[in-house]
Structure 1
Amino acid sequence: MLRRSTRERKGQEETAGVSPSQSQDSSDEGSTTSTSSDTVWKRSRIRGRGRGRGRSSRGADAAGDAPHSRSPIRREAWKTVADPDIANPHPPRFTPKRRPGPQPPLTYGPQTPGDIFANFFDAEVLKLLCANTNKYAKKNLGMGKKFVWTNITPQELTKYLGVLLFMSVCKLPKMEDFWRKNIIFKVPFLATVMSRDRFRAITSNLHMSDPEEDAVNDTKKGTKDYDPMQKVRSLMDIIRNRCMSIYHPKQHISVDERMVATEARIKMKQYMKAKPTRWGLLFYVLADVNGYTVDYRLYTDKNHGASGKGRSFDVVAELVNKDYLGSGYIVYCDNFYTSPLLFRHLSQQGFGACGTYRQSRVGVPTTQENALDRKSKRGSIRWIRDGDLLFVKWMDAREVSMCTTVHPVYTEETVLRWQKTDDGHRQRVPVPRPTAVGEYNKYMGGVDTSDQMLGTNLVHRKTRRWPMTVFQHLLDIAVTNSFIVHKELIIHMRQQRKPMTRQAFQEELCAKLLGVPLAGPPTPSTQGHFPVPTNKREYTEKSQKASLGRKQCTLCHRSTPWMCMDCNVGLCLQLERNCFRDFHCY
């Protein structure tokens, strides 16, 4: 069965505003153009049902939906496995641009989690974020916003990233909960790294683009020169280039969508009725079979350089780049992207392609002669070849429709299915399965695997600033890709040890960014906190210096003449009790 999780299947027309005519076409095909499992069959149904936001132009969603001349295969009868497939295809020769896997200098020696992650968030990224954040904070102060600010440095920003990873490992409902005091749920460590107010100030002022350039771009709203991604484009391009340079994918790759939740009210926010994340930012993702995010694009509802062949065509044609990948790759995609027009384009570029397809696509067989019907026996196979395209239909629990340019019709492959015997008992019996279905099951889940790994110890938190949502997602991509590279390095270098678990990897990376040892208790730190007397009046009489101006200790609630200069709270500093140390370190 095609292993695709229910929560990952989508209503793509719902995400991008498909025209009513397209939604109806997809809905009509739902009962016939599905995949082998109930889950993936539902994906075809879901894609054609709900209603999107209606922003994109008519016919811009799917490749091959424009009217074309009728193909000869529409009048050709469906064949069975008994009919020979003379034009049995051979997969294209696999000639990647680089050796698949981690790239130098990562392969030169053992790499710690911090070493791998530093290839994504390197000095260039930290310098960019610090410069733009300081400019944005200065702008906010000039507008009258009240907060304490000192220019952030790359070292402090590194600790800020470590704090975010710490929060993703130790989950609490709100960020402020990590600085709570006088409660059994107190988390004392983060206060030794960064104060709550400083963390808030950095979070509210973190900026990825130059505020001056943002202001110029804002004046272009409503024109074709306006860039809706101005605030995130610089960092997105850098991290994207890092993802592509650090690792080269293996032969089997997949293209799919990813939804990232956001509370922001922006035009490019999309809706997916059948997704766990219904409202959010829509990313188109190219992923390796191991879940590594190779490339991505953020959907902005503005088609720059559109080919006129449909958005699904443009997305795959842009992500599957021959100049970067090489040739001989096999691309797997679902029925939103699959079309004869796209698959022939990929074939001309030296790529193979395989995916489920919709009956409403232009160029697919429409003949009903010798076709499958509801009474067809489970395991029945029908096929039609149109040059280098092979269209296969298979009866499983429901009808499955596949299109491929690299697989034969049937290679004696079977799959076990439960069936009733003549005496009424149920038993598992072998059922014939087309080759394309088995290969699709094996290699299509790259983006789903990536989404599952991204959901583990997620940095993402709710925010109404959509650039902050993008920043958190890019950080999640960097951490997840670093973990995958760590596992691939162990295989590449043939090390006789098991890779770390995701939990252990993220904990070690977090400790590295925070600059503290992972093992043992945290090192007490009172940097920036000094005890001073509560009574600062120099003219106070000597007899009153020890009693006048006393404060209540915030820990033991006794009267004390000492306070913290930075925290401005009373704290005991006595031989029998040191509340100052306990407050800041434990």
Structure 2
Amino acid sequence: MSKMTTGRPSRVIRPPLRFTDGFEEEETPCEESVVEEESPSVTQGRSGRSNGAGGDAGTSRDRSRSPQHQERWKTEAEPDYGVPQKLRFNPRRTPGVQPPLNIGNPPPGEIFSHFFDAAALLLLCQNTNKYSAKNLEKGRRFHWKEIQPEEMTKFIGMLLYMSVLDLPKIRDFWRTQSIFSVPFPTTAITRDRFRAVLGNIHMSDPAQSEENDAKKGTDEYDHLHRVRPLMEMIQINCKSIYQPRQHIAVDERMVGTKARLGIKQYMKAKPTKWGLKFFVLAAANGYTLDFKLYTGKSKTATGKGLSFDVVDGLMDRGYLGSGYIVYTDNFYTSPLLYRHLSQEGFGACGTYRDRDLLFVKWMDTREVSLCSTIHPVYSGDTVQRWQKTGDGPHHHISIPRPTTVTEYNRYMGGVDTSDQMIGTNSVHRKTRRWPTTVFQHLVDIAATNSFIIHKECASLQQVRPMTRQQFQEELAAHLLGVDNRSGLQKTSYHHLPVPTSDEQTKSKRATGGRRRCKLCQRSTAWQCEDCAVGLCLQPDRNCFRQYHCK
């Protein structure tokens, strides 16, 4: 236990509690001990069975001791006994970007394709086609043609395009005969087609969703069935592409929605007060490592509390390894959780709101209280503060700062950094369908994580990274299949079809030098000049275009 002050005269009322091992406490009769603090000082002390420390002033055991054996607050100059041993950092993989993205400086489209890969696009296409067919059977009026992965890629690209060029309403992107008209969207996808895809986007099999809906009110009902297939794919991809460094953080993230559903939450302290609540594990650079969408009381709860189950579930040793240090806020901090993490080979540090859990308390502008299983109380850190002496001018003074405060400020902001980056050029659009809100958020996570990987790759190559807007513009252009500067189709600009053979004899033109098509495996007389692969170029089988759009 420790207490550190900024030097401002104050009265500190110590709780009538005794700490037996740094976390647990024994209650005693409610008496108060008042201490006057008159000068800048750092006071510290540890309590625990290992070092024989006793309790706070005001406890019955303290009163029974002789004066020379009673505990006192120590200054920052005195040694801190019982300093935790340094964790051995043993990650499962080398921290940083994982192969094959760690080679060179891959373009935005290549990075993004590792999050929304071929399997994710195929899943979206299959379920969206099934859901649209179901809606047509119900009598809903819209024109539908089965969507393929190539067009789904363009649809996601248009969402990212809209996030950069932010207009109030979707239909504004297809306005005509106005000075506010935007010419490009019409060349990429029609308005009605975009709205049809957006209105029918689906991440689970509609038939299975109906079966799940029939189980409402029972223990077998899955609140997240409509979004789980794609959400789990993105979670796996987030983990596989990047291995975090030692310091990570857990916090909440709110994704706004006005849909009427039972899992919507209210958080007074968040800028977005009503919406879907995600519990997020993030690296210090803002990379979203893992996340869980909160649905209320869980059927698999351990009985140790929501905060315990959330952190325990996100801290996956099979993926992370051991020796990681997780930072939490006062919602998660508890003796039970921190002991469990320590037994699992993880360190933990965080703020708390229960004064009975006093471990490190620093009197700054306001009281700052933290718990930690891996930091010493004080290691020489200082912070500058303004102070006025008498009638003289204000001047800076150096105030001792606990190690836990320094480390918490440095590493806890991973989720907040992620939220800020996701909020920049977000694809989020108002919708009454909450699964569409989740889909949009998954696109935001993939785009933001892709940008963070781009910055790390650029740093390794010692080149200047793109800004977030430049990155998203390049990514949108790639997914839409156009050049960012000219707006022309990339296929007509970079790749040209040429014959597989330059045979001039008329009798041999049809068979000489034919190759297997890269996509359909049929025999073809055409190939790409740049790619040097055989590709069909027929009115009913344009493999050349399909290959290059992918």
Q: Compute the TM-score of the two structures, normalised by the length of structure 2.
A: 0.75
Aligned residue for 2:147, secondary structure, equals: coil
Give the distance between the partners of 2:271 and 2:319, measured in 1 at CA.
Answer: 33
> 1:91 touches 1:328 (CA, 8 Å); kept in 2?
no
Alignment of 1:108-147 (within 5 A): 108-147=103-142
Residue by residue, what CA displacement relative to the aligned partner does 1:150-208 show, whole Å, maximum 9, x if unpaired?
10010111110111111001010000000011100001111011111111111111100
> 2:288 touches 2:445 (CA, 8 Å); kept in 1?
yes
Quick one: which amino acid aligns to residue 118 of structure 2? A
> 1:189 touches 1:522 (CA, 8 Å); kept in 2?
no
Aligned residue for 2:226, secondary structure, equals: helix
> 1:289 touches 1:443 (CA, 8 Å); kept in 2?
yes
Deviation at 1:259, TM superposition (A): 0.2
Of residues 218, 237, 241 in structure 2, which corresponds to 1:242? 237
> 1:208 touches 1:232 (CA, 8 Å); kept in 2?
yes
The verdict on how the C-alpha distance between 1:73 and 1:153 changes in structure 2, with shifts beyond 3 A counting, is farther
Give the distance between the partners of 1:424 and 1:296, measured in 2 at CA.
Answer: 53
Give the distance between the partners of 1:275 and 1:325, measured in 2 at CA.
Answer: 29
Q: What's 2:456 paired with?
A: 488
Deviation at 1:524, TM superposition (A): 12
Q: What's 1:85 paired with?
A: 80
> 2:112 touches 2:446 (CA, 8 Å); kept in 1?
yes
Alignment of 1:41-120 (within 5 A): 73=55, 75=59, 79-81=73-75, 84-120=79-115
Give the distance between the partners of 2:54 and 2:226, measured in 1 at CA.
Answer: 50
Q: What's 1:460 paired with?
A: 428
Aligned residue for 1:472, secondary structure, equals: helix
Matched, 1:520 2:515: no
Quick one: which amino acid aligns to residue 114 of structure 1? G
Deviation at 1:108, TM superposition (A): 3.1
Matched, 1:194 2:162: no
Q: What's 2:38 paired with?
A: none
Deviation at 1:302, TM superposition (A): 2.9
RCO greater where, 1 or 2, for CA within 8 Å and sep 6 or more? 1
Quick one: which amino acid aligns to residue 456 of structure 2? E
Quick one: which amino acid aligns to residue 74 of structure 2? T
The verdict on how the C-alpha distance between 1:405 and 1:157 changes in structure 2, with shifts beyond 3 A counting, is same
Deviation at 1:496, TM superposition (A): 3.0
Aligned residue for 1:417, secondary structure, equals: strand
The verdict on how the C-alpha distance between 1:278 and 1:97 changes in structure 2, with shifts beyond 3 A counting, is same
Of residues 275, 279, 285 in structure 2, which corresponds to 1:284? 279
Matched, 1:474 2:455: no
Deviation at 1:422, TM superposition (A): 2.4
Q: What's 1:428 paired with?
A: 396
> 1:192 touches 1:524 (CA, 8 Å); kept in 2?
no
Residue by residue, what CA displacement relative to the aligned partner does 1:109-144 show, whole Å, maximum 9, x if unpaired?
431100000001111001000000000000000011
Of residues 360, 363, 373 in structure 2, which corresponds to 1:395? 363
The root-mean-square deviation of aligned C-alpha atoms, in Å, is 1.7
> 1:228 touches 1:300 (CA, 8 Å); kept in 2?
yes
The verdict on how the C-alpha distance between 1:230 and 1:78 changes in structure 2, with shifts beyond 3 A counting, is farther
Quick one: which amino acid aligns to residue 155 of structure 1? E
Of residues 323, 326, 335 in structure 2, which corresponds to 1:328? 323
Matched, 1:358 2:353: yes
Matched, 1:178 2:144: no
Residue by residue, what CA displacement relative to the aligned partner does 1:366-407 show, whole Å, maximum 9, x if unpaired?
xxxxxxxxxxxxxxxxxxxxxxxxx11111111111111111
Query: Which stretches in structure 1 are left out of the alignment for 5+ residues?
Result: 1-70, 366-390, 526-586
Quick one: which amino acid aligns to residue 73 of structure 2? K
> 1:260 touches 1:277 (CA, 8 Å); kept in 2?
yes
The verdict on how the C-alpha distance between 1:79 and 1:417 changes in structure 2, with shifts beyond 3 A counting, is same
Give the distance between the partners of 2:277 and 2:117, measured in 1 at CA.
Answer: 26
Query: Which stretches in structure 2 are left out of the alignment for 5+ residues?
Result: 1-52, 63-70, 492-550
Aligned residue for 1:91, secondary structure, equals: coil
Give the distance between the partners of 1:290 and 1:275, measured in 2 at CA.
Answer: 21
Of residues 249, 260, 265 in structure 1, which corresponds to 2:260? 265
Give the distance between the partners of 2:339 and 2:402, measured in 1 at CA.
Answer: 21
> 2:482 touches 2:490 (CA, 8 Å); kept in 1?
no
Give the distance between the partners of 2:84 and 2:111, measured in 1 at CA.
Answer: 40
Deviation at 1:274, TM superposition (A): 2.6
**What fraction of aligned residue pairs are identical, expressed as a percent?**
61
Aligned residue for 2:216, secondary structure, equals: coil
The verdict on how the C-alpha distance between 1:316 and 1:468 changes in structure 2, with shifts beyond 3 A counting, is same
Quick one: which amino acid aligns to residue 403 of structure 2? T
Of residues 432, 440, 447 in structure 1, which corresponds to 2:408? 440
Matched, 1:207 2:175: no
> 2:105 touches 2:454 (CA, 8 Å); kept in 1?
no
The verdict on how the C-alpha distance between 1:521 and 1:327 changes in structure 2, with shifts beyond 3 A counting, is closer
Give the distance between the partners of 1:78 and 1:280, measured in 2 at CA.
Answer: 49
Deviation at 1:307, TM superposition (A): 1.0
Q: Compute the TM-score of the two structures, normalised by the length of structure 1.
A: 0.71
Deviation at 1:273, TM superposition (A): 1.9
Deviation at 1:272, TM superposition (A): 1.5
Aligned residue for 1:284, secondary structure, equals: strand
